[in-house]
Amino acid sequence: MEVNKDNITEWLKSLQDTICKALETEDGLAKFKEENWTREEGGGGRSRVIENGNVIEKGGVMFSAVSGKTPDFLFKEKEHSVSGTSHQETTFFATGVSIVIHPQSPLVPIIHMNIRYFEMSNGTKWLGGGIDLTPHYIVDEDAVFFHSKLKMVCDKHHDSYYPKFKTWADDYFFINHRKETRGIGGIFFDRLNQNEHLNFEQNFAFWQDVGNAFAPIYVHLMSKNKSKLFTPEQKQWQLLRRGRYVEFNLVYDKGTKFGLETNGRIESILMSLPPKVQWIYDHKPIEGSEEEKLLK
C-alpha cells in the first residue's frame, strides 16, 4: 500500500476509535463526547473528551487534519527550504492523534501520546510523535513496564531507536525553569524521515506501532492502580504536580505552539490542561518522603 496523506488520515481515525473504546471499557463509567469542527483556513478535526469517570477525571483523544499556508516559523530549519520555492507559495498538510489523560487517583499516572504526519508542497514530509508518562509517585515496577514496552516497539524496527528516542524524550520533557523532569520520560521523535537506517515506509510502520502501543500500556497501568486507596495529602500533591504539567505545556510544548501559530482550535489545543490544579508558594516536600523521591 502506498503511504499517502489520505490513507494516513484514515488510519489515524481508526486508531482514535480503538483507543477511545479501550479507555471507556477500562474506566467503566464515563463515555467520550465527540465534537466535529472545521478550520477556516483548511481542514478540521474530531475532538473526543471524557470526564468524571471512575478512573479518568479528564482526558482527550483528539484527531485533526489541517492544511493551509505554511507558517513562517517552520522555515527557520534548513530541511524545509527548497530552491525556487518561496514561503508565500508553500502550503502544508498536517494530521495526527494527540492524547492526554488526567486520572482521578494520584496513584494512576498521567499519560501523553502524540503521533503526527506533516507534509509541504515543496516535497518536505516527516513523521513525529512519542509517548511519555508522568506519575505523581514513583513505582519502579510500573516504570520498568512502561519503558520495556516502548523499547520492544523500538527494537522491532531498529536497535538505535530506543536509546536515541529515550534520550530525546528526557531532554524534551524537561522543565528548564524548574530544573525538573516532567515525569519519567518515554520516547520522543520529530522530523523522522528517510535516513541511513530506514526508508519512509519502514519508519511509517514504526510510527504505527507506537500508536498501537498506547492502549495496552495505559489500560494495564489503569487496571493495576485504580483501586488503590490514597490520602488527602496525596491528592494535594497530585494537584501540585499537575501545575508542573501546565507549565510545560504552555511554555515549551511544540504541539501547543504549532496549534497557536496556525490559528488552531483553542479548545482542542488546551485540552491537555487538567481540570483542577494548585500552585503553593515555594512548596518543598518533607525530607525522605515519597514526594521528595519523585523530585529526585
Chain length of the chain: 296
| Residue whose cell numbers read 513496564 | 145
> Which candidate in 112, 147, 177, 197 is catalytic?
112
Q: How far is it, in rounded angstroms, from Cα 285 to Cα 240? A: 11
Query: Alpha helix (H) ranges present in the chain?
Result: 5-27, 140-157, 161-172, 200-225, 232-251, 254-261, 266-269, 290-295
Q: In the annotation, is 112 catalytic? A: yes
Contact partners, residue 13, CB within 8 Å, separation at least 6: 46, 63
Q: Is 192 helix (H, G, I), strand (E, B) or coil?
A: strand
Q: How far is it, in rounded angstroms, from Cα 291 to Cα 271? A: 27
Longest dimension (CA), the chain: 63
Q: How far is it, in rounded angstroms, from Cα 95 to Cα 179? A: 32
Angle (nearest 5°) at CA 134 between 101 and 284: 125
Q: Tell me what percent of the chain is helix, strand and coil, each rounded to the nearest 5.
A: 45, 25, 30
- Name the CA radius of gyration of the chain, rounded: 19
Which residues form the catalytic set?
Answer: 112
